[in-house]
A = this chain, B = another copy of it.
Amino acid sequence: MKQSKMVFRTIKNVSEDVKLPSHRLLIRAGYVRESAAGRYYYLPLGMRVRDKVTHIIEQEMDRAGALKIITPVLHPIELWKETNRAESVGFELMKVKDRNESEFALGGTAEEMIVDLVRKFTLSYRDLPFNVYQFSQKFRDEMRARGGLLRMREFLMKDAYSFHTDEKDFKLEYEKMRDTYQRIFERMGLPIVVVESDNGYIGGEYCHELVVESDAGESKYLATEDGSYCAHEDVAKFLREEIGVDEELIELEEVDAPRGNTMEDGVKLHNLPLNRQIKDVMFMDEKGRLILAIIRGDLTVNETKLKHVCGSIELLAATEEEIRNVGSEPGFISPVGIDKNVVIVADESLRKVKNMYGGANKKNKDFLNINIDRDYQPNLEGDIALAEKDFLSLGGKVLRESRGIEVGNIFQLGLHYSERMKAAFRDKDGKEKFYYMGCYGIGIDRTIATIIEKYHDDKGIAWPASAAPYRFHLLNLSKDPETVKKAEDIYQILLDKGAEVLFDDRDESPGEKFADADLIGIPWRVIVSDRGIKDGKLEIKNRMTGEVTFISSDPDKITENLDNIEHC
C-alpha cells in the first residue's frame, strides 16, 4: 500500500476529552473514527488490524474443533421470551419492530439463537460434544460508552457455545477453551490472567474472565502473590478475622447519640473502633422488597454478592422516605427491632464479632452491645462483603489488588437455556435429555485497544507483529530521482514476495515521515536514503525495541535478509 493513497491520514491533535492512550492513538494514527458515542468506523489501517486479530481467533477456534456459523443480527423476540430475558431488568437490550409488527432484539449475545438453531436438528449423544462459534456485530444499550474501543455500544464479538451430554463433558471443553484463549491472547502478545468471576443470573461454579492487567481496565480483581487464588472483587472470598469473640455478652443498651449520619460520626461519639460498629445499608429490589444489608463497620457491601444471597436482580439505594416508612431513621438504621417486612441480610463477618454498636432506628439514638441471634435474627446470611487488598485469602495468604481489561470470558450455562427452550438430544438409554452448555466470548475491538494499552510509548503505537496492519514500513527519505526509483523497486520486490508493506512515498520531510511511522507503529521500518543507497545499505529499525540493523540493498537479497532479521 502506498501511503500517498491512504486518504485517512494521521492527525496531530485529538480532543482533550479523549484521555485513554489507546483511544487517542487509534484516532491520531488513523485507525478508527467515532460515528456516535460508542459506535466506531474502522479505517483501512484499523480494518487490517481487526482482520488480523479475527484471523488468529478463527485459526485457534478451528484448531480446537469449533464450527464456524453465523446467526442473523435480529433475533425474534419470541425466543428471548422463552428464557425470560426479553424484559430482564438491567440488560441493555435494544428492540425493533418490522412493518408487520414482528419484534426483534438486536443481538447482544446469542444463546437463544444458537439453542433455537440446534433444536431444529434431531441429534443424539453420538453427535456430542460440539462447539459452534461466530463473529458478529453485537449491540448493548450501555448507559455510558467510554474509552474508545474499550466499552462500545456496538462491537464485534466472537461468541461460542458448546453442547454436551453432561457437566463432566462440559468441563473438558471448558478446559480446552481456557487453553485456546490463552494461546489466542499469547499470539497477540497479551499475557492473560484467568480470573474467577460472577456468572450473573445463571449461577454455576465455572465462570472466568480472561483479563489483561492494565490501569485502563474496569475489572478489579484480587490475587495471592503465588497466583493460587485469583478472583474478581465481585466474587473474591476472604477470611473474616475474629473480634472480641472471647468477651462476655454485655446487655443491650440504648443511649443518646447526638451525631451526624456517617460511620465516622459514630466512631467519634462513642470513641469505639469502626470494626465494632454495624454498618446498615438499605436497598429496594425489583420485587419491591426492602433489603437491609448489615456488615462489620470496616467492610463494604458488595452488591453483586448481595444480589446472589437475596436473589434480587436489581438493587436501588432505599430513599429516606422508604426508610422512615418501616419505622427507621436514615443514619440510625438497625436490624434490632426493625419492621418484619424488611429482609435482613447479614454478612458472615457478624458471626465473628461480639458486643457491636450502631443505630437504634430513631434519630440520635444508638444501641451499644448489639449481638446477633440475641438482639436480631437475620433472614439471610452469607458472603456480601467486598474483598479488598491486604485481606487474607481463605488459605491465609495476603490478597493483592489489580485492575485489568476483560478481553474474554468463558462460562458454564448448564441447563439454563436448554431447559427453558426445550432443547434436547437422545441419550444412550434412548431418553430425551437437555443439552448441558457452555459459552465463550472474546471482544475483538476491546482486544485491539488492549494491545495498544500494552504496546505504546510517547510517540505512538508499537504493534506486536501478529496484530500489526503491515509487517514493514518502507520509508523513502530522498527526493533524488535515482533513490526514489530504488525505493519504488524495493517496494515492488517486497510486494512480489507477498510481504505486507506500507510504503511512505509521500512528498513529506523525513521528520514528518518518522513521526508518522512512530505513530502508526508498524514493527519493522525499512529506510531508504541517499547515503544508504550509495553505501548499498538499508537501515532497518525495530519499532518496539528501537534496535537498528543494516542489510544489503541488493534487490536479490532484500526479502531473505528481512526474513532473517524478523526471525532473530
A130 at the interface (CB under 8 A from B): yes
Question: Judging by beta carbons under 8 Å apart, are A96 and B96 in contact?
Answer: yes
Question: Judging by beta carbons under 8 Å apart, are B96 and A68 in contact?
Answer: no
A130→B106 CA distance, assembly (Å): 33
Question: Judging by beta carbons under 8 Å apart, are B113 and A73 in contact?
Answer: no
A75→B120 CA distance, assembly (Å): 34
Summarize A's interface: helix, strand, loop or mixed: mixed
- The one of B39, B44, B95, B118 in contact with A69, judged by C-beta atoms closer than 8 angstroms, is B44
Question: Judging by beta carbons under 8 Å apart, are B72 and A35 in contact?
Answer: yes
Residue from A67, A75, A141 having most chain B Cβ neighbours under 10 A: A67
Instruction: For chain A, residues 12 to 58, give those with C-beta under 8 angstroms from any C-beta of chain B.
Output: 33, 35-36, 39-44, 46-48, 50
A117→B139 CA distance, assembly (Å): 21
A47→B117 CA distance, assembly (Å): 15
Question: Judging by beta carbons under 8 Å apart, are B68 and A47 in contact?
Answer: yes
A122-162 Cβ-contact flags toward B at 8 Å (1 or 0) = 01000100101000110101010000000001100000000
Question: Judging by beta carbons under 8 Å apart, are B47 and A123 in contact?
Answer: no
Chain B hits for A40, CB < 8 A = 72
Question: Judging by beta carbons under 8 Å apart, are B96 and A69 in contact?
Answer: no
Chain B hits for A6, CB < 8 A = 67
Chain B hits for A99, CB < 8 A = 92, 141, 143
Chain B hits for A137, CB < 8 A = 73, 136-137
A116 at the interface (CB under 8 A from B): yes
Contacts A5-B130, A99-B141 given; does A71 touch B117 at CB 8 Å: no
Contacts A74-B154, A154-B72, A154-B74 given; does A102 touch B7 at CB 8 Å: no
Chain B hits for A141, CB < 8 A = 98-99
- The one of B41, B98, B120, B123 in contact with A117, judged by C-beta atoms closer than 8 angstroms, is B41
Instruction: For chain A, residues 68 to 124, give those with C-beta under 8 angstroms from any C-beta of chain B.
Output: 68-76, 92, 94-96, 98-99, 102, 104, 106, 113, 116-118, 120-121, 123
Question: Judging by beta carbons under 8 Å apart, are B39 and A72 in contact?
Answer: yes
Question: Judging by beta carbons under 8 Å apart, are B121 and A72 in contact?
Answer: no
A187 at the interface (CB under 8 A from B): no
Chain B hits for A73, CB < 8 A = 73, 137, 139, 154
Question: Judging by beta carbons under 8 Å apart, are B117 and A76 in contact?
Answer: no
Question: Judging by beta carbons under 8 Å apart, are B35 and A76 in contact?
Answer: yes
Chain B hits for A46, CB < 8 A = 69
**Across the two chains, which residue of chain B brings its CB closest to A118?**
B7
A65 at the interface (CB under 8 A from B): yes
A139→B97 CA distance, assembly (Å): 12
A73→B113 CA distance, assembly (Å): 19
A201 at the interface (CB under 8 A from B): no
Chain B hits for A117, CB < 8 A = 33, 35, 41
Question: Judging by beta carbons under 8 Å apart, are A74 and B121 in contact?
Answer: no
Chain B hits for A48, CB < 8 A = 68
A376 at the interface (CB under 8 A from B): no
Chain B hits for A102, CB < 8 A = 36
Question: Judging by beta carbons under 8 Å apart, are B98 and A153 in contact?
Answer: yes
Residue from A5, A74, A120 having most chain B Cβ neighbours under 10 A: A74
Question: Judging by beta carbons under 8 Å apart, are A68 and B44 in contact?
Answer: yes
Interface on A for B, CB 8 Å cutoff? 5-9, 33, 35-36, 39-44, 46-48, 50, 65, 67-76, 92, 94-96, 98-99, 102, 104, 106, 113, 116-118, 120-121, 123, 127, 130, 132, 136-137, 139, 141, 143, 153-154
A-B contact pairs, 22 of them (CB 8 A): A5-B67, A5-B130, A7-B118, A7-B121, A7-B127, A8-B121, A36-B76, A36-B104, A39-B72, A41-B70, A41-B72, A43-B69, A44-B68, A44-B132, A47-B69, A50-B70, A74-B139, A92-B99, A95-B96, A96-B96, A98-B141, A137-B137
